[in-house]
Each structure stands twice: as C-alpha cells, then as structure tokens.
Amino acid sequence: MDGPTRAATRLDRAWSTLEQHRDRVAPLHLRDLFAGDPDRFQRFTLRHEDLLFDYAKQRVTTETMALLHELARAADLAGWIDRMFSGEHINPTEDRAAFHVALRSRSTAPMRVDGRDVMPDVRAVLERMRAFADRVRAGEWAGATGRPVRAVVNIGIGGSDLGPVMADQALIHWRHPGIDIRYVSNIEGADLTGALRDLDPATTLFIVASKTFTTQETMTNATSARAWLVGTLGEAAVSRHFVAVSTNLQAVAAFGIEAENAFGFWDWVGGRYSLWSAIGLPVMIGIGPEAFDRLLDGAHAIDRHFRDAPLDANLPVAMALIGIWNTNFLGARTHAVLPYDQGLRRFPAYLQQLEMESNGKSVDRDGRPVRHATSPVVFGEPGTNGQHAFVQLFHQGTDPVPTDFLAPVEPNHDLTDHHDILLANMVAQAQALAIGEDEPEARAAMIAAGIDRATADRLAPHRTFPGNRPSSTFLFRRLDPFTLGRLVALYEHKVFVQGVIWGVNPFDQWGVELGKTLARKVLPELSLDALPAEGQDASTAGLIAYIKATRAASDPPAALARLGSPQT
C-alpha cells in the first residue's frame, strides 16, 4: 500500500470507529454523563491563562475525545499545522501560502514564504501604520484646509470590513474619544449616505480597504465618497483625505491615491484573515498602536499554543473536533455563537465569514466530492437578547443547535449588578440546554406553583425541556485587546483544523464568484433603454422586466425620454 492509500485507509477507519462509538454513546443523556462522573468539569475543560474553555456540556466521553484525536492524527493534522507555519502553499487552488500567523509573529525568527523572510516587510508596514495612526490620533494629520481629521470612514466589505468593525466595537473602551470611526460596506446607498450625513469633508479621512481593489461595492462607494469630498474641497484635497489598504498598489495609484498614502499587504493574507494586516488600520487609529500590539500579542500567544500544545490540551483542536463530532456524528447542521458581551455583538457576523466562507465547500482539495458534511450554518446574537428571540428553538425545537457561549467574568463598565444578571443567565441557559426538565419534573413544578393537576397534565408536554443539547462555554477575565486577539485566533485555527479533517481547502472562496459574474451581466439589462434580457431563465427575465416596468411607471417622462419616445 502506498503512503496516500495508507493515510486514506487510516482516516476511513477513524471515521467508522467514531460512527460505531456514536451508536453506543448517542443514547446517553448529558444528565447520565454528569451523574456518572463527578469530575466531568475538570476532565473536559482546557485553559489558556485566564481563558477557560468548558466543553463538559458536550455529548462526549473520554473515549469520544480519544477517537477524535485519532481522527486528527489520521488526517495528518500535525503535518498540516507544520505546513501552515512553514509558509507552504497550503491554498492549492490559488497556489498561495496562508500565512496570517506571520502578521502577528512577535518572535525574531524568520517566517519564510517561497524562501523569503516576510518579517521585514511585515514590520515595515506595521511601523508605517503606527506612525500614521499616531499622527491622526494626535491631530497632526491635517486635511486640505489645515484642520485636523476628526472622523475616519473605512470603506471595505467582507474581510476588509467585518474584522475591523468587530474589533472596533469590542474594544470601544480603548477608543480615542476625539475620533469618530465609521464603516461603510454595503453598496446599498443608505450605508454611505448615512455615514456621511453629519460629517464635514474638511475633517474626514477615508480609508479604502480592499485586498484586490477591484471589489464592485468598495470601488463604487469609494468613488462616491471621492465625489462627495471633491464637490466641497476640490480635486487637490484627495491626497489629504484618502488613504488605501491593498495588495494591488497599481490600482490604488490609478484611483488617485499616492504611494505614500497606501499601506500594502500580500497575497498570502486571506481576506478573512486580514484583520492583523494593514486592514486593521482603522482599529489601530481607534485604539492606538500599543493596544493594537496587544491584539497581535493575543493572537500570537494562541498561535504558539496551537503549534506547540499536544492534541489533548490544544484549545483550537478541541473546538474543531467537538464541532466535527456535532456535525458529522450527531447530525447538527447549525452552530450558534452567543457572546454575552455587548462589545462582541458583531463577533457572530465575523465568524460567519470565517467559518462559512472557509469551509462551506463540497469538494475536497483534489476536487473530488466530499464524503461528509462540511461547515454548519453559523449564526448568533449577543446574550441575553437571543434568549428573547430564537433560543426557544434551541430548547424545544426538533433540531439541536450546538452553541458556544462566551463571556468576560469582569465587565468593562461599572454596572456590576447588570453583569451578575448577565452571567447568571448565560450559565443557566447552558444548564437548561444540557440538563433540561422532564415531564414529571415539569408537572411537579407546576403543582408546586399552585396550578391544578388537570391543567398541569395538559401543559406538561409543552413545558418539558428534553435537554441533552450540547454547548461549550468560554470565560475570560475581561474583554481587552489581548483576549480579543486570542479569541479570534482560536476560531481561526479551529476553522483550519476542521478544513484539514474535512479535506477541503479553507483558504479559497470560489463560491462567491458566479453571483458577481452574473450581476455584471444583469446590471446593463436593468437600464430602461436596454433590450429585453436574452438568455436569462424565465424568473430572472421576469424580475428584470418588473424592475424596468416599475421604474418606467413611476417616472414616465424620464423613462420615455430615455427610451427616445417622440412624445417627449
């Protein structure tokens, strides 16, 4: 048997051993697992300094974890981790490294891609970012009229938006009080007009953030923002009010942004891993270079842990394997992330891109159909808001939703009584999901509360909680830049581990392309003077025709003029 065949056989064996194990343990309820093991909390928690990861409420046993570790070994996880940290081209469809770990490396060791140490370039860009952020924060970066910048508008989308927005909101307590930072991502014009409504062009700085500098939404928003600025301050003002972050410095220059106002990064930085690069510039302006360094420190600390910790003590590995267990063996198709911290309210949205754009794939690295389910649908809202919305389904719906709860033990505000209520709710939700309340218990509780027996009997099925619904809980001392860096890196590596085990390439995103191509074809067909759409399916043609007819009806003279009607 050759090497690859032997590896495939080992992987198949690991999957089927886990399937047999699942058949044995699936009937066990989390109640039984807790009753049978008083040390379950100690056994199924991991720590990184003050950060605790409790997965005791997952439907796993020690044997489950051992078999999952064997699955990771069979997928050559250690080899893949090594390849990632060695700058190998682990993104085969784009023939690139995925080397975001270099962006936050705090060591003096070289980090090589294609034989070249990238660290001098990484440090040089960070240094320029620091100098620029310091000038803006100190009021030394003057606009065209000589007045200092007071508002920064980041224009970007996807990875060029979600990471910075998420981090900015999470670290709001570190934010410079005199600088207003806003984010525009959507092509829907209300996003840009809303952001600019009360801004003064003379004190506004735009950051155009786009890895490719070709993204339709970003370039359209940037062009409109430029027109807004030039309309008041004139063309010459652009160089004082626009900076860019991109890998495509030629396109940046073509847009009219000078080289000294451009911050570069590299093709080995994936969009959804770019927060650590110059894409983090608005965050650095907001929280300052020192706090940004702490963010990088946190991510680097997890990089080292991920690379060096043994499988059974490795947090991202545990997170990934538990996700695989829930998805591939217990049949979950969703995954909820519920941060009990208002600052982390965009964390689920950030993770949606990280997880679903990375692992939402149906073919493996070699282009063959995958044999197992890949990324679940990820969603979430901050607690306790979610409790008053979708959490009903978590407790009593037909499909369990594996959930991650996250909370700081200490808040970044003084309302400690609020925080106690918050934490009590989070802990109780995880308990209710796991332990539940069976029908006799539900009936007894109602009778104890004075409800008559007939009513209690009638309501008992509705007031029963099956429990056995898995969740993990992350607790950390405080949400600060270091911990945010750790949290993001934990999830990044989790996604990587899952990609390795599912055999997919988590670093490309070809699935976003078809819609972009089709939109380019549809766009001219929406024009009133365009001929009826050809080659479109009936539904698409019907929608295009409806848009045109509605426009023509709501503005007949203009429509007729554009149609060249003799009546005009």
Instruction: Report the alpha-carbon distance of residue 63 to residue 361 in Å, rounded.
Output: 29
In the bound state with ligand F6P, the residue whose beta carbon lies nearer, of 174 and 213, is 213
| Distances, alpha carbon 118 to alpha carbons 110, 114, 134, 401, 404, in Å | 7, 10, 24, 41, 35
- Note whether 210 binds ligand F6P by CB under 6 A: yes
Instruction: Point out the catalytic residue in the list 48, 211, 241, 357.
Output: 357
Number of residues in contact with ligand F6P under rule CB under 6 A: 14
**Contacting ligand F6P within 226-265 (CB under 6 A):** none
How many alpha carbons fall within 13 Å on the CB side of residue 501? Answer: 28
We find the least distance from the C-beta atom of residue 492 to ligand F6P, in angstroms, to be 14
Question: Mutual orientation of helices 62-74 and 77-85 as an angle, nearest 10°?
Answer: 60
- Note whether 100 binds ligand F6P by CB under 6 A: no
Instruction: Report the alpha-carbon distance of residue 414 to residue 2 in Å, rounded.
Output: 63
In the bound state with ligand F6P, the residue whose beta carbon lies nearer, of 510 and 546, is 510
Judged by CB under 6 A, which stretch of 71-79, 151-159, 174-182, 195-203 contacts ligand F6P? 151-159
Please provide the DSSP assignment of 476-512 as one string.
ES---HHHHHHHHHHHHHHHHHHHHHHT--TT--GGG
In the bound state with ligand F6P, the residue whose beta carbon lies nearer, of 277 and 387, is 277
In the bound state with ligand F6P, the residue whose beta carbon lies nearer, of 221 and 483, is 221
Short-list 70, 92, 200, 220, CA closest to 156: 220
Question: Which of residues 409, 512, 518, 523 is near ligand F6P by CB under 6 A?
Answer: 512
Contact (Cβ atoms closer than 8 angstroms) between residue 512 and residue 353:
no
Number of residues assigned to the chain: 568
Instruction: Report the alpha-carbon distance of residue 488 to residue 299 in Å, rounded.
Output: 7
Name residue 169's amino acid. Answer: Q
We find the least distance from the C-beta atom of residue 225 to ligand F6P, in angstroms, to be 15
- Note whether 158 binds ligand F6P by CB under 6 A: yes
Question: Which of residues 45, 203, 212, 334 is near ligand F6P by CB under 6 A?
Answer: 212
How much of the chain is helix, strand and coil, in % rounded to 5? 55, 10, 35
In the bound state with ligand F6P, the residue whose beta carbon lies nearer, of 404 and 508, is 508
Judged by CB under 6 A, which stretch of 29-37, 59-67, 205-213, 465-473 contacts ligand F6P? 205-213
- Note whether 157 binds ligand F6P by CB under 6 A: yes
- Spell 41-55 as b/e; 16+ CB within 10 A means b: eeebbbebeebbbbb
- Note whether 277 binds ligand F6P by CB under 6 A: no
Q: Give the rounded distance of the alpha carbon of 344 from its chain centre.
A: 11
In the bound state with ligand F6P, the residue whose beta carbon lies nearer, of 415 and 512, is 512
Question: Mutual orientation of helices 538-554 and 556-563 as an angle, nearest 10°?
Answer: 120
We find the least distance from the C-beta atom of residue 158 to ligand F6P, in angstroms, to be 3
Strands of 242-246's sheet, edge to edge?
180-184, 151-155, 204-209, 242-246, 262-264
Question: Which of residues 163, 164, 201, 271 is near ligand F6P by CB under 6 A?
Answer: 271
- The two three-digit tokens of residue 445, written as one number: 């509780």
We find the least distance from the C-beta atom of residue 81 to ligand F6P, in angstroms, to be 23
We find the least distance from the C-beta atom of residue 141 to ligand F6P, in angstroms, to be 24
Task: Specify whether 357 is catalytic.
Answer: yes
Determine the 3-state secondary structure of 116 from DSSP: strand
We find the least distance from the C-beta atom of residue 142 to ligand F6P, in angstroms, to be 29
Question: Which of residues 105, 160, 403, 473 is near ligand F6P by CB under 6 A?
Answer: 160
We find the least distance from the C-beta atom of residue 251 to ligand F6P, in angstroms, to be 10
Judged by CB under 6 A, which stretch of 102-110, 157-165, 251-259, 423-431 contacts ligand F6P? 157-165
- Note whether 328 binds ligand F6P by CB under 6 A: no
Q: What is the dihedral of CA 486, 492, 493, 498, to 10 degrees?
A: 150
Count of beta carbons in the 10 Å neighbourhood of residue 232: 12
Question: Which of residues 137, 240, 241, 272 is near ligand F6P by CB under 6 A?
Answer: 272
Residue the block writes with tokens 């910075």: 164
| Distances, alpha carbon 60 to alpha carbons 66, 178, 323, 329, 472, in Å | 10, 50, 11, 11, 12
Judged by CB under 6 A, which stretch of 164-172, 211-219, 307-315, 415-423 contacts ligand F6P? 211-219
- Note whether 509 binds ligand F6P by CB under 6 A: yes
Question: Which of residues 215, 261, 328, 387 is near ligand F6P by CB under 6 A?
Answer: 215
Task: Specify whether 494 is catalytic.
Answer: no
In the bound state with ligand F6P, the residue whose beta carbon lies nearer, of 246 and 261, is 246
- Note whether 286 binds ligand F6P by CB under 6 A: no
Instruction: Report the alpha-carbon distance of residue 478 to residue 90 in Å, rounded.
Output: 35
**Contacting ligand F6P within 360-419 (CB under 6 A):** none
In the bound state with ligand F6P, the residue whose beta carbon lies nearer, of 163 and 400, is 163
Count of beta carbons in the 10 Å neighbourhood of residue 345: 16
Instruction: Report the alpha-carbon distance of residue 372 to residue 275 in Å, rounded.
Output: 31
Instruction: Point out the catalytic residue in the list 63, 188, 258, 388.
Output: 388
Question: Which of residues 159, 298, 411, 506 is near ligand F6P by CB under 6 A?
Answer: 159
- Note whether 218 binds ligand F6P by CB under 6 A: yes
Instruction: Point out the catalytic residue in the list 173, 372, 413, 516.
Output: 516
Range list of H helices, 104-257 = 119-137, 162-170, 189-196, 216-233, 238-241, 249-255
We find the least distance from the C-beta atom of residue 457 to ligand F6P, in angstroms, to be 54
- Note whether 424 binds ligand F6P by CB under 6 A: no
In the bound state with ligand F6P, the residue whose beta carbon lies nearer, of 212 and 224, is 212
154 burial level (CB within 10 Å; 0-12, 13-18, 19+): buried
Contact (Cβ atoms closer than 8 angstroms) between residue 71 and residue 14:
yes
- Note whether 358 binds ligand F6P by CB under 6 A: no
Binding residues for ligand F6P (CB under 6 A): 157-160, 210-212, 215, 218, 271-272, 357, 509, 512
Catalytically active residues are: 357, 388, 516
